[in-house]
Amino acid sequence: MTSESAALLEQARDAARTEAQATARRLVAVGDFMRLRERQHGDREEWVADPWDAISAELAAALRISRALASSYMRDAEILRDRLPKVGACLAAGDINYAMFNVIAHRTALITDENALAAVDAQLALRAPRWPSLTRGRLAMRVDAIVLRVDRDAIRRTNKEVKDRYLNVSVSMSGISEVYGNVFASTAVALDRRLDELAGTVCEADPRTKTQRRADALAALVAGDARMMCTCGDSACIETRGRMRNRNVVIHIVAEQASVDGTGATPGFMAGADELIPSEVVAELAKSATLQPLTVPVAAEPRYTPSTALADFVRSRDLTCRAPGCDQPAMHCDIDHTVPHADGGATHPSNLKCLCRKHHLLKTFWGWRDRQLADGTVIWTLPSGLTYVTSPGSAILFPALTVPTGESRSPSPTADDRCGDRTAMMPTRRRTRAQQRSQRITAERNLNRNDRLVRLRAHTYARAGSDDEPPPF
């Protein structure tokens, strides 16, 4: 029995080492891919959709991850290659895991002197493999102790009270979320009073309890309304007049008519939500929502900008950005012509799709190519030559929205180099990504230095005054 358990533990340990080694190989490959693309693209750091965006989007599609996670891999690849090569070698050997590498990378990010960084890298590579059982907090303290010896202004400091302030919104069950956190006392008092005020703006016949009205008052609060919507059901209720005016927040939910009527079981989809909205909740929300029926367009429109009805259909069909690896809600996306309108592409559902602004720029300026089918399926060919297929988000939930809408009769796109003559149209940044990073590091180092000098002066003054001043009595 002992030999069997030892063998299983050995398998787990070998798997962990192999996982760390595979992670290092992935980061090396990411770093090599970054250098390849940088050589190919040249200097475009001032573009809004800069080389970092183009590379992270390609990685996200290939690895089936988000662009944010792809960006974190890219940062780690740079650190492994340029900043902490010896610590990176420990990861490649499986002597430390990825979590340890991330902590070390974060705690050393403010070191700007190359000699100091090399010294820290060497010491950490020697010591970190002997710290396998440390928690993240204790590991951070060990790393800070080494950083402190070579660069006192490179310690990552945070104000605990500011750091602990937060407000979270998390799903507790389908259609219901929890809102909780720590905020300034003044903010909490103001919020508490405002919820009470809004909860009291309905008539006495409203069937909800005060607790329920306070919860529902958040909807009026975020919409900037002066009163809540009364649910007493009396059309003559004075509290229902002029309600929900001047709203500045709009929440879109796509649902079948039967679910809205309370007779169906198909859940609804809310932009940005992590879960579907149960049909019972859809029916409840429909009582106080603005309902907009969807129709399936069949004819092309004569203008570049689609009508509201056509745009609503495309957004409801797609639900999210249609680029591979992106889940940006369609309500926050551009409506893109697959075959450009200037090249004869029709303003027709079979030639329209949702693209977030970043992927829209990548398609326009970075050589992403796409072909769209009549049911909304999009076939992408990226600069690497790899092909990806994305289906409309409603394909499973609302299949009626993905019924082929007919051919748009758009001409075949001509082969052009969109990274050439059109570059003058690309929006530019005020500061490059590297300049922004340098500014953040310099600002944090200056805060550390000022804080250190203030504490040093206070300590010196206290010691100097202890022998000369009489006791306070």
Q: What is the pLDDT of residues 74-120, one digit of tens each?
A: 999 999 999 999 999 999 999 999 999 999 999 999 999 999 999 99
Q: In 3D, which of 322, 324, 396 has the Cα closest to residue 352?
A: 322
Phi, psi of 198, deg, nearest 5: -65, -40
Higher pLDDT, 235 or 358: 358
Same domain, 383 and 347: yes
Mean pLDDT across 141-157? 90
When the pLDDT of each residue in the chain is averaged and rounded to a whole number, the result is 85
Is there a domain that residue 4 lies in?
no
| 242 and 178 assigned to the same domain | yes
Is the per-residue pLDDT at 419 higher than 50? no
Q: Map residue 96 onto helix, strand or coil.
A: coil
What's the pLDDT score for residue 272?
67
Q: Who's near 60: CB < 8 A, 6+ residues apart?
A: 66, 67, 69, 70, 324, 325, 326
Cα angle, residue 31 at apex, residues 55 and 139 outer, rounded to 5°: 115
Residues 372, 393, single domain; the answer is: yes
Q: Specify whether 265 is located in the same domain as 218.
A: no
| Highest mean pLDDT of the ranges 167-171, 194-198, 267-271, 369-373 | 369-373
Lowest mean pLDDT among 120-124, 329-333, 421-425: 421-425
C-alpha torsion 343→344→349→352, nearest 10? 10
- Is the pLDDT at 439 greater than 50, yes or no? yes
Q: Taking 90 as the threshold, does the pLDDT of residue 382 lie above it?
A: yes
Least confident span in 10-19, 98-107, 440-449:
440-449
Amino acid residing at 373: L
Residue 436 lies in a domain: no
Which of 156, 186, 215 corresponds to the end of one domain? 156
Domain count within the chain: 4
Domain boundary residue, one of 106, 123, 156: 156
Residue 16 shares a structural domain with residue 151 = yes
Domain assignment of residue 453, yes or no? no
Boundary of a domain, candidates 408, 426, 459: 408
What confidence category does residue 144 fall into, taking pLDDT thresholds of 50, 70 and 90? Answer: very high
Q: Is residue 2 part of a domain?
A: no
Residues 29 and 149 in one domain: yes
- Asked if pLDDT for residue 421 goes beyond 50, the answer is no
What global pTM score does this model have? 0.75
Residue 51 maps to a domain: yes
Q: Do 145 and 180 fall within a single domain? A: no
In a domain, 388, yes or no: yes
- Say if residue 166 is in the same domain as residue 145: no
- Report the alpha-carbon angle 146-151-155, nearest 5: 70
Residue 156 has pLDDT above 80, yes or no: yes
Q: Examine the domain organization and report whether 19 and 137 are in the same domain.
A: yes
Phi, psi of 355 (to 5 degrees): -135, 130
Identify whether residues 214 and 263 lie together within a single domain. no
Distances (CA, A) of 14 to 9, 10, 96, 99: 9, 6, 13, 17
Which three-class secondary structure state does DSSP give residue 389? strand
CA distances from 60 to 45, 64, 150, 237, 418 (A): 20, 6, 37, 53, 22
- Give the lowest-confidence range in 61-75, 166-180, 377-391, 403-417: 403-417
Residue 397 and residue 328 in one domain: yes
Over residues 410-430, the mean pLDDT reads 59
pLDDT winner (highest mean) among 284-298, 380-394, 419-433:
380-394
Give the span between the Cα atoms of 184 and 161, in whole angstroms.
10
Q: Looking at the structure, tell me whether residues 232 and 339 fall in a common domain.
A: no
For 109, the domain range is 11-156
Flag whether pLDDT at 418 surpasses 50.
no
Distance CA 242, CA 19 (A): 61
Of 167, 144, 168, give the one whose Cα is nearest residue 157. Answer: 144
What are the tokens at 220? Answer: 């009026």
Output 247 or 21, whichever has higher pLDDT: 21
- pLDDT tens for 215-248 read 888 888 887 888 888 888 777 775 454 444 444 4
Please report whether residue 243 resides in a domain. Answer: yes
Could you report the per-residue pLDDT of 32-41, keeping only the tens digit for each?
A: 999 999 898 8
